[in-house]
């Protein structure tokens, strides 16, 4: 069975006050064209359909058109809500839509919705797990420990009683510990939201949403497809893509990607004002793209944004990189570091690398090592 994996459309999103609706409409048309060429049996959308729980009407109409056109093409749409969505609003009318092959998981009510689709090898069981917080699951599992996301998801998946002899696909919206993030994502302070990659081992493929950078987990059977568009300049060097998955007989998995081309790219350029404003510099650049411009002039340029917008009309951000700004950054960083304990600095580094804070036991071990180092240094 062939299916497409999408996530984090964030329809209705504004980036630095620029509406992305026109760009989103363009990329959805590109995805529909790819679907027509690939002829998948299903499209999985792993959450964050909208950017806000109450999306603008234009965003709702855009998604409605997208899933209706999939249905008209005979392609099933399997959709879950993410942390940006209102599951109740997203799933309104879901039982009626299911008759047309559009399956939208409702808010978690104690069980994971399963949609079985058939191909020449038999059924593929698609499990749809919307974004769920421990407090949302606890009433359904009063005897289980649901204190954090890991224990909650483990409890929910264990309750499925998976037939491991069959072909099983999970669609989920959550954070896998250790995966790199982008600036456009919501960052939850603390490590209570992360789950280990091993939690998905029983599934033939796990279609993940939540992280915006495309990445495949180490075992090759779980993947974040990433956003179809760039929503921050930390993603400017990423190649956004559409993930194509093929499941044949049990154990046969092929995952590939199709590059997506945005209507307008996000670009970063750097240089002096006169250099960036010269035709020689921007000749060959698509100046209609979205830009983050860093000026290296030692003195601030009067009304730089307005003047540069005569060339680059979609400047999203303008910064300076010179001796003054670097000095300010160095002073701030040094002062901040000096005001913190070695354990706090190590805890911050650990969180940046792993997406989780140190446990109390880990803090005890690290503190012991720090004390040993200080003793040896004296």
Q: Which residue has the tokens 């359909």?
A: 49
Residues 177 and 274 in one domain: no
**In a domain? residue 332:** no
Residues 143 and 200 in one domain: yes
Residues 35 and 109 in one domain: yes
pLDDT of 377 reads 58
**In a domain? residue 334:** no
pLDDT digits 0-9 by tens, 345-375: 787 776 655 556 677 777 778 877 776 776 6
The encoded tokens of residue 346 equal: 């190590």
The domain total for the chain is 3
pLDDT of 115 reads 97
In angstroms, the CA 342 to CA 339 distance is: 10
pLDDT of 369 reads 79
Domain boundary among 259, 279, 310: 259
**In a domain? residue 225:** yes
pLDDT of 77 reads 97
**In a domain? residue 330:** no
Question: Can you say whether residue 291 is alpha, beta or left, with left for phi > 0 and alpha for psi between -120 and 50 degrees?
Answer: beta
Residues 254 and 279 in one domain: no
Domain boundary among 259, 282, 312: 259
Residues 363 and 241 in one domain: no
Q: How confident is the model at residue 376 (pLDDT cuts 50, 70, 90)?
A: low
Residue 315 or 348, more confident = 315
pLDDT of 191 reads 44
**In a domain? residue 348:** yes
Question: Can you say whether residue 227 is alpha, beta or left, with left for phi > 0 and alpha for psi between -120 and 50 degrees?
Answer: beta
Residues 36 and 120 in one domain: yes
In angstroms, the CA 200 to CA 63 distance is: 29
Q: What are the CB-based long-range contacts (under 8 Å, 24+) for 351-359?
A: 351/191, 353/178, 354/177, 354/178, 354/191, 354/194, 355/175, 355/177, 355/178, 355/179, 355/181, 355/191, 355/194, 356/177, 356/190, 356/191, 356/194, 357/190, 357/191
pLDDT of 190 reads 41
Residues 71 and 189 in one domain: yes
Q: Which residue has the tokens 């879950």?
A: 80
Residues 38 and 18 in one domain: yes
Q: Residue 105, Cα to own-chain centre: how many angstroms? A: 19
Q: Residue 331, Cα to own-chain centre: how many angstroms? A: 34
Distances (CA, A) of 303 to 105, 290, 297, 306: 50, 19, 14, 6
**In a domain? residue 143:** yes
pLDDT digits 0-9 by tens, 102-156: 999 988 989 999 999 999 999 999 999 999 999 899 899 988 878 888 999 999 9
**In a domain? residue 156:** yes
Portion of the chain with pLDDT greater than 90, in percent:
72
Residues 45 and 111 in one domain: yes
Q: What residues contact 73, with CB distance under 8 A and at least 6 apart?
A: 35, 36
**In a domain? residue 361:** yes
In angstroms, the CA 52 to CA 58 distance is: 13
In angstroms, the CA 353 to CA 95 distance is: 42
Distances (CA, A) of 218 to 86, 174, 176, 178: 32, 17, 12, 11
Domain region containing 279: 266-324
pLDDT digits 0-9 by tens, 151-196: 999 999 999 989 989 999 999 999 998 888 888 876 554 444 789 9
- Is pTM beyond 0.85 here? no
Calculate the average pLDDT of the chain.
89
In angstroms, the CA 175 to CA 155 distance is: 16
For residues 217-232, give the mean pLDDT. 96
Neighbouring C-beta atoms of residue 370, cutoff 10 Å:
14
Q: What residues contact 305, with CB distance under 8 A and at least 6 apart?
A: 315, 318
Residues 82 and 17 in one domain: yes
**What CATH number is given to the structural domain containing 11?**
3.60.21.10
Residues 311 and 270 in one domain: yes
Residues 40 and 66 in one domain: yes
Contact indicator for 79, 45 with CB cutoff of 8 Å: yes
């Amino acid at each position: 069975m062939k299916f497409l994996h999408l996530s984090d459309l964030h329809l209705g999103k504004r980036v630095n006050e620029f509406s992305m609706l026109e760009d989103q409409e363009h990329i959805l048309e590109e995805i529909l064209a790819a679907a027509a060429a690939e002829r998948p049996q299903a499209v999985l959308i792993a959450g964050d359909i909208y950017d806000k729980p109450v999306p603008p009407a234009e965003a709702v109409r855009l998604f409605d058109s997208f899933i209706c056109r999939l249905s008209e093409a005979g392609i099933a749409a399997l959709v879950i809500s993410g942390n940006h969505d209102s599951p109740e609003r997203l799933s309104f009318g879901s039982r009626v839509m299911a008759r047309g092959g559009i399956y939208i998981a409702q808010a978690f009510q104690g069980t994971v919705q399963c949609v079985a689709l058939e191909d020449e090898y038999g059924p593929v069981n698609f499990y749809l797990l919307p974004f769920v917080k421990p407090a949302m699951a606890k009433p359904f599992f009063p005897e289980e420990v649901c204190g954090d996301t890991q224990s909650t998801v483990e409890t929910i998946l264990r309750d499925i009683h998976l037939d491991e002899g069959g072909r099983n696909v999970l669609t989920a919206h959550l954070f896998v510990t250790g995966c790199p993030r982008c600036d456009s994502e919501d960052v939850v302070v603390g490590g209570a939201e992360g789950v280990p990659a091993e939690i998905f081992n029983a599934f033939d493929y796990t279609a993940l949403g939540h992280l915006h950078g495309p990445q495949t987990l180490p075992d090759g059977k779980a993947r974040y497809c990433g956003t179809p568009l760039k929503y921050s300049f930390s993603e400017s060097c990423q190649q956004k893509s559409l993930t194509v998955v093929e499941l044949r007989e049990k154990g046969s998995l092929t995952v590939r990607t199709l590059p997506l081309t945005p209507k307008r790219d996000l670009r970063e350029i750097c240089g002096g004002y006169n250099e960036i404003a010269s035709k020689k510099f921007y000749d060959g650049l698509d100046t209609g793209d979205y830009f983050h411009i860093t000026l290296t002039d030692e003195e601030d340029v009067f009304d730089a944004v307005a003047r540069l917008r005569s060339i680059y009309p979609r400047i999203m951000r303008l910064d300076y990189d010179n001796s003054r700004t670097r000095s300010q950054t160095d002073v701030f960083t040094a002062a901040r570091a000096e005001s913190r304990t070695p354990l706090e600095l190590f805890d911050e580094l650990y969180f940046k690398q792993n997406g989780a804070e140190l446990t109390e036991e880990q803090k005890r071990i690290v503190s012991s090592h720090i004390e040993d180092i200080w003793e040896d240094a004296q």
